[in-house]
Amino acid sequence: MQSPDGLPKNIVLIGLMGCGKTTIGRKLQGMLGYPMVDTDQLIEEKAGMTIPEIFARRGEQSFRELESAVLNELSAPNAPRRIIATGGGIIGRKHNRRLLSSLGYVVWLQAPVDVILQRTARNRDRPLLQTDNPREKIEKLLIERSPLYHQIADLELETAGLETEEIACGILESARYHFAAKP
């Protein structure tokens, strides 16, 4: 499929909490002029609760079920082109990884643990980090999840020290090159 902006498919943002998926997704929406969706926001709409409320009242497994359901919906045939920001744990399930890969150009946003800690300390809306030792939790998740992010990433991008504008421009340039090489 050809497209005038050189991006025939969705852009999918993956990576650990605090790497900037939601922020960069919004930036790309402003630059590309087509909609961005965030799986976390769709989950909250579906559940009628915030993410901390879902974790507290129903537990993480229930959150993961909702996450998979939302991803299935985004994968419907003939769904419009979008920028898709995901939650950091969406890659845990094999079926989710398969869907994400087929949805489009998958970008793994990265940041060092110190930067993640700094960025995520600004609010309390990430239940997995509401522990006595969030650093330990981030390090553990990074070890567990990095191979899974790597499995499906078309692009791996270090974000520390970069402005959001630079990151978004870098993604667009790489995506266009990717689709030009593999139409």
Ligand X SMILES: Nc1ncnc2c1ncn2[C@@H]1O[C@H](COP(=O)(O)OP(=O)(O)O)[C@@H](O)[C@H]1O
Ligand Y SMILES: O=C(O)C1=C[C@@H](OP(=O)(O)O)[C@@H](O)[C@H](O)C1
Interacting residue ranges for Mg ion, rule: CB under 5 A:
21-22
Amino acid at 95: H
58-97 binders of ligand Y (CB under 6 A): 87-89
d(Cα 58, Cα 68) in Å, to the nearest integer? 16
In this complex, which beta carbon is closest to Mg ion, that of residue 7 or of residue 51?
51
CB of 40 to Mg ion, least distance (A): 6
In this complex, which beta carbon is closest to ligand X, that of residue 20 or of residue 104?
20
Q: Answer with the entry of ligand X, ligand Y, Mg ion, none that 20 interacts with (C-beta below 5 to 8 A by kind).
A: ligand X
17 contributes a contact to ligand Y by CB under 6 A: yes
- Backbone torsion region of residue 58, taken as left when φ is above 0, otherwise alpha when ψ lies between -120 and 50, otherwise beta: alpha
Write the interaction track for ligand Y spanning residues 18-37; mark x where CB under 6 A is met and - where it is not: ---xx---------------
Among the listed residues 44, 2, 12, the one whose alpha carbon sits nearest the alpha carbon of residue 157? 12
Query: Regarding beta strands 36-38 and 83-85, do their DSSP bridges make them parallel or antiparallel, or are they unpaired?
Result: parallel
